[in-house]
Structure 1
């Protein structure tokens, strides 16, 4: 599936594609949620460099733990929860 095709997927389908090893699927998740995750991190630390590092850590943890995402809440909520706990 191309990046254009991935951009058409809803969040559950994008998570499933990422779990199935579809190239670019997790990149699309990051692209969709990068800014709000960064902004949340920035509100906590008040520093651009630290916020960028924390946001990167959030997505690394999300990638490693994606198989534990149950879909009971939105993906954004799950990512925000990771960010708060980082």
Structure 2
């Protein structure tokens, strides 16, 4: 676990990948360092988040930063 990772708006649109390498969703927005994940993004949602137009809603889930193992240019990797 890495508690030092802080997400920013630059992370919006990135895929979230579990420890097995499976994509489990996409970051739709980041507010105050907390990412909001859409577990089943549509093409429209994907484009919106890539453009920074994402917003948190009832279909999104907060990502616990303590679960993040690493962040690359295109993905957020979870440790579990």
Q: How does the TM-score come out when normalised to structure 1?
A: 0.28
The structure carrying a bigger helix percent of its residues is 1
The structure carrying a bigger strand percent of its residues is 2
Answer with 1 or 2: which has the greater Rg: 1
